[in-house]
Copies of this chain bind each other. A is one copy, B any other.
């Protein structure tokens, strides 16, 4: 049976509390899903990948450039697309459910694609757009993800 994949999106820069949030989310997500997909670079992507690996999961990084070395070191499988920002579509479409962490316009484009594709997106202290599931804590996010994966028929 095909494995479930969770996507996490968020800013390229993430420090302090948000970094901690991303890492904590990663660790706890690894307990409910086998595979994480993200943009594969630094900031939020690195923090959540680090946590997910620590939690025992496997990670896919879909990066904008052609150089696999651009991926953060917590990435098991690198997809070097060379597509620039168009790779955002692939990141969310590869996921069955998505968690959005704080981020800028890039994160917003990914949330928009989720909404267009009908992929459920949990906004954890991120953009408040009609259609997202607004959540405040990692534990609530995990509860939502569990629920969504149960409903979701891959």
How many residues of chain A get a CB closer than 8 Å to chain B's CBs?
38
Q: Are B66 and A117 in contact (CB under 8 A)?
A: yes
**Residue on B nearest A71 in the bound complex, by CB:** B2
A109 an interface residue at 8 Å Cβ cutoff? yes
A18 an interface residue at 8 Å Cβ cutoff? no
A81 an interface residue at 8 Å Cβ cutoff? yes
What CA separation (Å) do A89 and B83 show in the bound complex?
Answer: 10
A80 an interface residue at 8 Å Cβ cutoff? yes
Query: Oligomeric state, in number of copies?
Result: 4
A147 an interface residue at 8 Å Cβ cutoff? no
Tell me how far the C-beta of A66 lies from the nearest C-beta in chain B, rounded to whole angstroms.
Answer: 6
Q: Are B109 and A105 in contact (CB under 8 A)?
A: no
Q: Are A116 and B93 in contact (CB under 8 A)?
A: no
Contacts of A35 in B (CB 8 A): 77
Chain A positions near chain B (C-beta within 8 angstroms): 2-3, 5, 35, 60, 62, 66, 68, 75-86, 89-90, 93-94, 104-106, 108-109, 111-113, 115-117, 129, 131, 154
